[in-house]
């Protein structure tokens, strides 16, 4: 888990660092869920986005990342069921 230290603005906003947004496939104006849990603030995408093609359609969570069925199919096709071929 990465850590970043940010100040809360006078309007109550906190910026998410660009590197984290890219890694998590978060784009401008994406809806987010903000929750309080045991004294911690948790922020996560309300609607996940595919980490590969960036679509928000038919996206499922896979190992903490969003992946759409089309990209999952392409990965399965490339792997051929026998591991990655380069």
CB-count exposure of residue 21 (10 Å: 0-12, 13-18, 19+): middle
Give how far Cα 64 sits from Cα of 6, 39, 53, Å.
Answer: 23, 23, 16
Q: What does the alpha-carbon distance between residue 54 and residue 65 come to, in Å, rounded to a whole number?
A: 11
What value does the mean pLDDT of the chain take?
A: 87
- Predicted pLDDT at 2: 80
What is the reported pLDDT for 81? 59
pLDDT band at 86 (very low <50, low <70, confident <90, very high): very low
pLDDT, tens digit, 9 for 90 and up, residues 18-58: 999 988 888 898 889 999 999 999 998 888 889 899 898 99
Task: Look up residue 40 and give its two tokens.
Answer: 């911690």
Per-residue pLDDT for 76 more than 50? Answer: yes
Q: How far apart are CA 22 and CA 36, in angstroms?
A: 24
């Amino acid at each position: 888990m990465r850590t970043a230290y940010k100040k809360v603005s006078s309007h109550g906003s906190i910026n998410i660092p660009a590197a984290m947004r890219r890694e998590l496939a978060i784009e401008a104006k994406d809806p987010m869920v903000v929750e309080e849990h045991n004294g911690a603030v948790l922020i996560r995408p309300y609607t996940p986005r595919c980490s590969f093609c960036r679509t928000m359609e038919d996206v499922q969570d896979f190992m903490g990342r969003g992946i759409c069925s089309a990209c999952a199919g392409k990965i399965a096709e490339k792997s051929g069921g026998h591991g990655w071929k380069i």
